[in-house]
Amino acid sequence: MSEAAVPDRLASRARELDAGDELAALRARFVLDDDDVVYLDGNSLGALPATVPDRVDDVVRRQWGRLRIRSWEESGWWTAPERIGDRIAPLVGAAAGQIVVGDSTSVNVFKALVAAVRMARETGGEGRDEIVVDATTFPTDGYIAGSAARMTGCALRPVEPAGVPGALGDRTAAVLLNHVDYRTGRLHDLPGLTAAVHAAGAVVVWDLCHSAGALPVGLDAHGVDLAVGCTYKYLNGGPGSPAYLYVRRDLQGRFDSPLPGWNSHAEPFGMRSAYEAAPGAVRGRVGTPDILSMLALEASLDVWEGVGIDAVRAKSLALTDFFLECVEAYAGPGRTECVTPRRHGERGSQVALRCPDAGDVMKHLIGRGVVGDFRHPDVLRFGFTPLYVGFADAERAARVLGEVLDEVAGGATA
């Protein structure tokens, strides 16, 4: 086959794959087609679901503007954190009553880690004085873990994920792990690592920011203790939409929050001076929830109606496989290095490519309508959100990448 035939062949393959894609129609649930952009940054900020604008408008004009204070009851504002938690629950394999929405991921990491250390000590004693954290984690998790360690009298022990099982022991109180690495897109072994942490008598906290909404998580099935995640990536909740906290049902009575705000009180309107923690997931709440962002998130979850996470995962892998094939064809070997694992069992829903001048390359890509992002120092990230990205998008992105690499690297391969 001639060189010139490659684009035709891949474009044709893309059309076939799109035609056979059972999830293809879901794209219409998003606001996307008013520009000619391939949006591969849904792993940073999910696209706008079509039902959100009118819902937010109703929240602002009617619920706030007309009902005002009455909306705390009449519009269901007060119970939004646990109600929306229950809608996220099936997407991460959790039964109802274990997730509350609110605060940022960073704040939830703090709640979860401090509570984890307290749980571990309750059963394992004060000798549990180490927090193990993924050394390659998204920085905020490490910073917050450092603060949690400092404030609970623990040492912080950063460990490469592969080395975590070997680092666990009698001193381990809590372990904070990422399900999918934000930079490389590597998927970690949640069932195996959870079991290892439990075998060491410690408590595990999983950060699901880069997996929830992209692949099955199975929190209940794998006996995860605590988990946190954001909602603005694959869950499309909007910029800075509130994060969530999962506390396994049988641990809720022992969840001792470092942020015991009035929203987590057993009787929040009793205005009592003594704190008494509410039962259930509500215990993870803190202060007054940010209703506009929270109800935008609630509306955004409508896009999951009738969608199974297994089908999402199958399409995600097919998309990233196809993208990698196209990158190889268009960018040629040796122009980029793929830092995302090829094995399906180790891959999330993004492809991260390392190349020289990655910051410049991404600027050119965006200028030509292919939106991914750049992560310091040399990584191009392309997120594949199966609800609205198709195979033709993947083909176009790889083709434009090939062209941009020619330009930026200066040497066209003709």
231 in a known ligand binding site:
no
| Angle of CA points 212, 184, 199, to nearest 5° | 65
Closer to its own copies by CB, 3 or 36: give it. Answer: 36
Cα–Cα dist 4/167, whole Å: 53
Q: For the chain, count helices (H), then strands (E).
A: 12, 13
User: Which stretch, 246-254, 264-272, 308-316, 326-334, contacts its own copies (CB under 8 A)?
Assistant: 264-272
Closer to its own copies by CB, 356 or 367: give it. Answer: 367
273 binds its own copies (CB under 8 A): yes
**What are 301's strand-pairing partners?**
none
Closer to its own copies by CB, 71 or 350: give it. Answer: 71
Binding test (CB under 8 A) with its own copies, winner from 110, 206, 246, 330: 110
166 binds its own copies (CB under 8 A): no
Closer to its own copies by CB, 330 or 382: give it. Answer: 382
262 in a known ligand binding site:
yes
141 in a known ligand binding site:
yes
CA distances in angstroms from 411 to 41, 335, 395, listed in the order given: 28, 11, 22
Residue from 233, 248, 335, 396 carrying the catalytic annotation: 233
Binding test (CB under 8 A) with its own copies, winner from 10, 23, 38, 41: 41
336 in a known ligand binding site:
no
Q: C-beta of 365: minimal distance to its own copies in Å?
A: 13
Whether the upstream peptide bond of residue 377 has omega within 30° of 0, thus cis, is yes
Tokens 């954190």 map to which residue? Answer: 81
- Buried (b) or exposed (e) across 259-277, using 16+ Cβ within 10 A? bbebbbbeeeeeeeeeeeb
Q: C-beta of 52: minimal distance to its own copies in Å?
A: 6
Task: Identify which of 15, 55, 110 has the alpha carbon closest to the alpha carbon of residue 294.
Answer: 55
Q: C-beta of 5: minimal distance to its own copies in Å?
A: 34
Closer to its own copies by CB, 192 or 359: give it. Answer: 359
- What is residue 79's DSSP assignment? T
- CB neighbours (10 Å) of residue 3? 9
Give catalytic status of residue 138 as yes or no: yes
Residues 180 and 188 sit within 8 Å (Cβ to Cβ): yes
The identity of residue 143, as a single letter, is Y
Instruction: Pull the structure tokens for residue 119.
Output: 């749980």
How many residues bind its own copies, per CB under 8 A? 82
220 phi and psi, to 5 degrees? -65, -45
Give catalytic status of residue 363 as yes or no: no
Residues 121 and 334 sit within 8 Å (Cβ to Cβ): no
Binding test (CB under 8 A) with its own copies, winner from 10, 21, 29, 44: 44
In the stretch 222-251, what mask flags binding to its own copies with x, by CB under 8 A?
--------x-x-----xxxxxx--------
Binding test (CB under 8 A) with its own copies, winner from 27, 179, 265, 399: 265
Binding test (CB under 8 A) with its own copies, winner from 82, 298, 373, 395: 373
Instruction: Pull the structure tokens for residue 24.
Output: 């293809």
371 binds its own copies (CB under 8 A): yes
In the stretch 46-75, what mask flags binding to its own copies with x, by CB under 8 A?
-xx---xx--xx--xx-xxxx-xxxxx---
Which residues are CB-neighbours of 326 under 8 A, at least 6 positions away? 10, 394, 395, 397, 398, 399
265 in a known ligand binding site:
no
Give catalytic status of residue 373 as yes or no: no
**Span 374-403, contacts to its own copies by CB under 8 A:** 375-376
Catalytic residues: 138, 207, 232-233, 381
